[in-house]
Chains A and B, each alone.
Chain A
């Protein structure tokens, strides 16, 4: 599987250095290594979801209890979680650190992923969610740390889009 283990490790280490203790996730190809790393890490609680909406509730509970969390989701999972992002995270000023695999964008070979790719950024913009692209491994740790900082200072969700360039080995 040409998903980059090395770059997944860089992303995972970035989450660790940002103090993330709970990771919630639904499996998807690009996230496989990240999920395994969370699973194998005794200091991290991995919560396997049935649907991404739950992750917003879990992260809200964790935040109010003073524990940092991150959400690993595909962009289609992000689209599935819009209502709780609006009616829990926005309504109650809950910070979220969402790592979203940006499927269906340039280079996508799976036809079923392509529609989500069209709407990911327009929806993030419509919701006024600050977001950044993770493309260069050298910048990943700093970007995660800065996203975490902004989420907590603004008490709002932020998104980091995991790019093909970072996650997929040519």
Chain B
């Protein structure tokens, strides 16, 4: 499955959700589908998208929070899974695009290439539900189920190690930050 195929499935559903993505291919591809004021692209601070998601989910319990993570980022902050599972915000869905590599910095393999099972780690950390999917159909099913469940859920989407043609985003990071904050204020 291509990452962009999975993103196309969830994109129409997240119009009013709080969305936090990691940097690199995930940010560029979400942006390429059409930027919205409710999307925050965490450029840098690898590993902290999920922690930001927790802060947002606790602060806005009536809004849905979608964290779009990657295997490399998540592996840098595995303890965050235990913290998230402890507080288990019902309004948070954690989507992890696992291409088993650090794509934008040379394509070196991550530990998931050697068998580390992120959904397994999440489940044993206490996530109410964590599934690994390998096809677009399974991703769509898992995504719908996660939205209906209303429990802290993770979907690990195994995707090809391929990025977008361009990583260019015409959105200075501070503009994104203040626009996102203003949107949250008005919600």
Contact = CB atoms under 8 A, between A and B. Distances in A.
Do A and B originate from a single complex? yes
Interface of A: 22, 45, 47-51, 53-67, 69, 83-84, 87-88, 91-93
Contacts of A66: 59, 181, 184-185
A87 B77 CA distance: 15
Interface of B: 18, 20, 40, 42-45, 47-60, 77, 79-80, 82-83, 86-87, 173-174, 177, 180-181, 184-185
A61 B51 contact: yes
A30 B57 CA distance: 29
Given A58-B51, A58-B54, A61-B51, A49 B181 contact: no
A65 B60 contact: yes
A160 to B, nearest CB: 20
17 contacts: A22-B58, A47-B87, A49-B83, A51-B77, A53-B47, A54-B48, A54-B54, A56-B45, A56-B48, A57-B55, A58-B58, A61-B51, A61-B54, A61-B58, A65-B18, A66-B185, A93-B177
Nearest to B58: A45
Given A60-B52, A64-B184, A93 B83 contact: no
Contacts of A63: 55, 181
B51 A56 contact: yes
A58 B65 CA distance: 13
A84 B45 contact: yes
A60 B55 CA distance: 7
Contacts of B45: 56-57, 83-84, 87-88, 91
B52 A61 contact: yes
Contacts of B87: 47
**5 A-B pairs closest in CB distance:** A61-B55, A57-B51, A50-B79, A65-B59, A57-B48
